[in-house]
């Protein structure tokens, strides 16, 4: 009797202490023109865009009913940076921890937030969040160690912005017509999903400024003119205060800084977010990479244009130290080496690879394979040949060695954890070797998204103390689409014992398509878990000797040929009817011809030039 009573009391006590916030997020299309240059449909919530930040307090339970009212796209929400301890099925990525939320469907995200800091939430449906479905997520902390150091908080989001929608942009990005994998270049930069933002401040006051880069692609340099900042948080981890005059935020990263407005300030303070143009293959003449906002001390004064900055030397996040002084995890139980490269596949398009494997989502969400594969859940084979799956035991020290064998910068994000960055090279350092580890920092920086430099490496460590299925991927949304993703399956047998997937999650899959399997291996095979026949797969590899230059030459010659066909078709149609239908005919012949030609690249036209 007593234990029952006690647990009853505990239940009441627990219920009384946990604050529960219930929200409804109806996801809809709305029209907006945030850069003043182009009106376009964007994905809003409850008819609102910019989407308001979600504010919570550490310890709070959040229950959000997400309804997909888009009509023509599936969706999902991921809570970037939250550990989702015990609720891996609420993490968000379709094909990993849930099924897509189809138009007309809904899903309830219900999770407890046990960590303070600056986060964000965004769609994790392929390529979707740059259409606007993203917003800051701020977790306030009653025990904030810097509580007495500021008067007020300000939230700033930064992002790049495209005039076109992601669907058509993705189609042209992953295409034989783009064999080098040049990413679409944004049209503008935004602050708080707008430009020329003004924020009233008072002289003599100190502000905690929380910053989130929600971009699809662009890293952002950020500075407040003639002000110095004190970094106190990166990606949810409090840091020892560190002076900075300039920050660099990759897509997905966050910083909080303390900024004091001089008590004798009379002029308004411009602040700038400047897109990192080194990421872009081409820089259009009309691109303005900068967006400006102002801290307004005196609204009767003008808004001075920002002075130009000649040199970008941001604070090096590798030099930051977590306030808790957590030492480097030093007995590594498991090292996972991921060699990154970009290359073409047999469809002529450019893809991204870890260890020569490009990610393709499995038929069965990986978490559902964990739940339905018994002892086989410890065997990475059941998760498929194209998911870059790694099974981790519980409570291991895991080390990820990421070698970036590509000329571009890539910001890597791990779900479910913050990691220590125990080594990171400059550009062109080549692959990591244990000898490079001589200068392991005693107290390394911890965060959940880290920049890996061109042809360089990063070494990350974390404890596998959070059973779940967690993605590790580049946060450049183009590279997610081209397959730069790995899957960590953490303590799967423990997960089977401790986790119950809410029945409405499985029901969602079935309502989407009754033939969707929700159990078995990556191919949906329940009877023979080691047989992956029918699993989703990428295009076949290119035949040997076929290079991007060869593809360019091939495409050019095909397009030339098609132009001839078009001219002939147009000429042939001319006497009979309007040029209109002639053009249509030419278009149709382009489609008809390109398919068989591309299907047989070994036909000889396509040898290297
Ligand atoms: C912001 O101000 C700049 C400079 O005056 C202007 O070119 C731009 O169009 C403005 N942006 C918006 C969205 O009004
Ligand atoms: C969301 O949509 C549902 C109908 O699907 C409606 O009942 C509800 O009032 C809407 N909520 C908000 C906040 O707009
Ligand atoms: C979906 O609907 C939006 C808003 O009406 C539209 O702009 C967009 O082109 C549609 N997308 C597709 C893939 O049809
Ligand atoms: C203010 O900042 C600009 C640009 O960074 C710099 O050129 C200028 O010297 C600074 N002025 C003062 C008074 O510090
Ligand atoms: C953007 O800002 C940078 C740094 O101040 C400057 O070099 C560049 O010229 C600016 N671009 C435009 C279009 O103003
Ligand atoms: C990891 O350690 C924690 C705390 O000691 C324990 O509760 C948990 O069961 C362990 N996990 C595994 C998979 O052994
Ligand atoms: C998750 O919960 C387990 C058990 O309560 C705990 O040992 C672990 O530290 C937590 N992990 C994270 C990342 O919070
Ligand atoms: Cu990338």
β-strands 485-490, 468-474: how paired? antiparallel
Ligand number nearest to the C-alpha of 252:
8
Pick from 386, 390, 383, 380: which is nearest to 365 by CA?
383
Ligand number nearest to the C-alpha of 64:
2
Mean pLDDT value across the chain: 90
3-class state of residue 562 by DSSP: helix
Query: Is the four-CA dihedral 235, 396, 438, 429 of positive or negative sign?
Result: negative
DSSP string, 276-327: -GGG-S---TT---EEEEEEES-TTS--PPPPP-S------GGG--BTT-PP
Give the number of other CB atoms < 10 A from CB of residue 573: 18
Greater confidence (517 vs 590) lies with 517
DSSP class of 437: G
Q: Decide whether any atom of ligand 2 lies within 6 Å of the 67 Cβ.
A: yes
- To test ligand 1's pocket by mutation, which of 33, 195, 272 has the most ligand atoms within 8 angstroms of CB? 195
Q: How far is CA 151 from the centre of its chain?
A: 32
- 237 pLDDT more than 80: yes
Q: Looking at ligand 4, which atom is closest to the CA of residue 308?
A: 4
* pLDDT in the model for residue 71: 97
* pLDDT in the model for residue 2: 42
Q: Cβ neighbours of residue 231 under 8 Å, at least 6 residues apart?
A: 239, 241, 242, 243, 244, 247, 255, 256, 257, 315, 320
Q: Decide whether any atom of ligand 2 lies within 6 Å of the 65 Cβ.
A: no
Element (H, E) at 273: strand 269-275
Pick from 192, 251, 259, 203: which is nearest to 232 by CA?
259
DSSP class of 262: P
Nearest residue (CA) to ligand 1, atom 7: 36
* pLDDT in the model for residue 553: 62
Q: Looking at ligand 4, which atom is closest to the CA of residue 306?
A: 4
Let me know: does 534 contact 363? Beta carbons within 8 Å. Answer: yes
Let me know: does 121 contact 80? Beta carbons within 8 Å. Answer: yes
Q: What domains sit in the chain, N to C, each tagged with a CATH number?
A: 13-143 (2.60.40.420), 148-325 (2.60.40.420), 334-512 (2.60.40.420), 548-608 (no CATH)
Question: Which residues are registered as beta bridge partners of 66?
Answer: 25, 107
CA of 461 to the centre of ligand 8 (A): 20
Give the number of other CB atoms < 10 A from CB of residue 139: 22
Whole-angstrom CA distances from 151 to 134, 147, 148, 202, 544 are 27, 8, 8, 10, 63
pLDDT grade for 7, boundaries at 50, 70 and 90: very low
CA of 290 to the centre of ligand 1 (A): 11
Let me know: does 103 contact 74? Beta carbons within 8 Å. Answer: yes
Q: Give strand ranges (E) for 141-266.
A: 152-161, 188-191, 197-200, 206-213, 220-224, 229-234, 237-244, 247-249, 254-260
* pLDDT in the model for residue 563: 59
* φ, ψ of residue 209 in degrees (nearest 5): -100, 115
3-class state of residue 74 by DSSP: coil
- To test ligand 5's pocket by mutation, which of 195, 225, 274 has the most ligand atoms within 8 angstroms of CB? 274
Nearest residue (CA) to ligand 3, atom 11: 72
Q: Decide whether any atom of ligand 4 lies within 6 Å of the 498 Cβ.
A: no
- To test ligand 4's pocket by mutation, which of 246, 307, 313, 314 has the most ligand atoms within 8 angstroms of CB? 307
* CA separation for the pair 196, 35 (Å, rounded): 9
- To test ligand 2's pocket by mutation, which of 21, 22, 23, 24 has the most ligand atoms within 8 angstroms of CB? 24
Q: What is the pLDDT of residues 278-323, one digit of tens each?
A: 999 999 999 999 999 999 999 999 999 999 998 899 999 999 999 9
Q: Decide whether any atom of ligand 5 lies within 6 Å of the 308 Cβ.
A: yes
**Six-digit token string for 434:** 């244990």
What percentage of the chain has pLDDT greater than the value 90? 83
Let me know: does 162 contact 184? Beta carbons within 8 Å. Answer: yes
Q: Decide whether any atom of ligand 3 lies within 6 Å of the 549 Cβ.
A: no
Q: Decide whether any atom of ligand 4 lies within 6 Å of the 265 Cβ.
A: no
- 580 pLDDT more than 70: no
Q: What is the pLDDT of residues 156-193, one digit of tens each?
A: 999 999 999 999 999 999 999 999 999 999 999 999 99
Q: Decide whether any atom of ligand 3 lies within 6 Å of the 103 Cβ.
A: no
* CA separation for the pair 138, 159 (Å, rounded): 17
Ligand number nearest to the C-alpha of 24:
2
Q: Cβ neighbours of residue 46 under 8 Å, at least 6 residues apart?
A: 24, 25, 26, 28
- 597 pLDDT more than 70: no
CA of 26 to the centre of ligand 2 (A): 6
Q: Looking at ligand 5, which atom is closest to the CA of residue 272?
A: 2
Q: Decide whether any atom of ligand 5 lies within 6 Å of the 439 Cβ.
A: no
Nearest residue (CA) to ligand 7, atom 7: 465
* pLDDT in the model for residue 16: 54
For residues 551-561, average pLDDT: 60
Nearest residue (CA) to ligand 4, atom 1: 226
Q: Cβ neighbours of residue 302 under 8 Å, at least 6 residues apart?
A: 268
pLDDT grade for 543, boundaries at 50, 70 and 90: confident
Whole-angstrom CA distances from 234 to 159, 225, 291, 404, 515 are 18, 21, 22, 23, 44
Pick from 194, 125, 124: which is nearest to 158 by CA?
194
- 542 pLDDT more than 90: no
Let me know: does 467 contact 495? Beta carbons within 8 Å. Answer: yes
Q: Looking at ligand 6, which atom is closest to the CA of residue 393?
A: 13
Ligand 1 interacting residues, C-beta cut-off 6 A? 35-36, 195-196
Q: What is the pLDDT of residues 27-82, one digit of tens each?
A: 999 999 999 999 999 999 999 999 999 999 999 999 999 999 999 999 999 999 99
**Six-digit token string for 369:** 């394979």
Rounding to the nearest 10 degrees, give the CA dihedral for residues 402, 405, 411, 415. -40
CA of 261 to the centre of ligand 8 (A): 37
Let me know: does 482 contact 514? Beta carbons within 8 Å. Answer: no
């Amino acid at each position: 009797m007593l234990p029952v009573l006690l647990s009853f009391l505990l239940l009441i006590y627990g219920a009384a202490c946990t604050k529960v916030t219930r929200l409804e997020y109806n996801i809809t299309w709305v029209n907006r023109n945030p850069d003043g240059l182009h009106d376009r449909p964007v994905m809003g919530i409850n008819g609102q865009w910019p989407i308001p930040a979600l504010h919570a307090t550490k310890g709070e339970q959040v229950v959000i009913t997400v309804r997909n009212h888009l009509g023509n796209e599936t969706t999902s929400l991921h809570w970037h940076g939250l550990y989702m301890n015990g609720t891996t099925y609420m993490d968000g990525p379709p094909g990993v921890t849930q099924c897509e939320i189809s138009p007309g469907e809904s899903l309830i995200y219900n999770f407890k937030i046990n960590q303070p800091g600056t986060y964000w939430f965004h769609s994790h449906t392929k390529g979707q969040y740059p259409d606007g479905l993203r917003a800051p997520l701020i977790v306030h902390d009653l025990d904030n160690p810097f509580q007495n150091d500021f008067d007020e908080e300000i939230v700033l989001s930064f992002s790049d912005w495209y005039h076109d929608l992601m669907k058509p942009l993705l189609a042209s990005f992953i295409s034989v017509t783009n064999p080098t994998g040049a990413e679409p270049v944004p049209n503008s930069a935004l602050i708080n999903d707008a430009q020329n933002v003004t924020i009233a401040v008072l002289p003599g006051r100190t502000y905690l400024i929380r910053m989130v880069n929600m971009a699809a692609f662009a890293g952002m340099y950020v500075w407040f003119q003639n002000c110095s900042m004190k970094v106190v948080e990166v990606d949810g981890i409090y840091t020892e205060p560190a002076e900075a005059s300039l920050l660099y935020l990759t897509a997905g990263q966050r910083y909080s800084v303390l900024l004091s407005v001089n008590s004798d300030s009379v002029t308004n303070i411009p602040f700038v977010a400047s897109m990192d143009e080194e990421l872009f293959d081409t820089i259009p003449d009309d691109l303005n990479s900068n967006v400006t906002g102002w801290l307004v001390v005196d609204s009767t004064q003008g808004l001075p244009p920002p002075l130009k900055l000649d040199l970008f030397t941001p604070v090096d996040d590798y030099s930051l130290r977590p306030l808790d002084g957590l030492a480097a995890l030093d007995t590594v139980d498991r090292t996972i080496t991921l060699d990154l490269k970009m290359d073409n596949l047999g469809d002529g398009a450019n893809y991204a690879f870890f260890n020569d494997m490009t990610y393709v989502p499995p038929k069965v969400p990986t978490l559902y394979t964990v739940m339905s594969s018994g002892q086989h859940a410890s065997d990475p084979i059941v998760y498929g040949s194209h998911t870059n799956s790694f099974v981790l035991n519980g409570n291991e020290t895991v080390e990820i060695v990421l070698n970036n064998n590509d000329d571009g910068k890539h910001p890597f994000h791990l779900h479910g954890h913050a990691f220590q960055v125990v080594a990171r090279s400059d550009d062109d350092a080549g692959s990591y070797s244990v000898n490079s580890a001589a200068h392991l920092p005693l107290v390394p920086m911890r965060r959940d998204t880290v920049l890996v430099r061109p042809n360089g490496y990063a070494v990350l460590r974390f404890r596998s103390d959070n059973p779940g299925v967690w993605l590790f991927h580049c946060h450049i949304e183009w590279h997610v689409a081209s397959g730069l993703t790995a899957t960590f399956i953490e303590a799967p047998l423990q997960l089977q014992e401790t986790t119950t997937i809410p029945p409405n999650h499985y029901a969602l899959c079935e309502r989407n398509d009754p033939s969707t399997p929700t159990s078995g291996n990556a191919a949906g095979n329940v009877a023979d878990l080691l047989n992956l026949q029918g699993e989703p797969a990428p295009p076949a590899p290119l035949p040997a000797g076929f290079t991007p230059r060869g593809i360019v030459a091939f495409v050019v010659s095909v397009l030339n040929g098609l132009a001839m066909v078009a001219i002939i078709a147009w000429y042939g149609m001319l006497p009979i009817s309007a040029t209109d239908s002639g053009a249509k005919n030419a278009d149709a012949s382009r489609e008809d011809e390109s398919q068989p030609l591309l299907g047989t690249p070994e036909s000889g036209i396509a040898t290297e030039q």
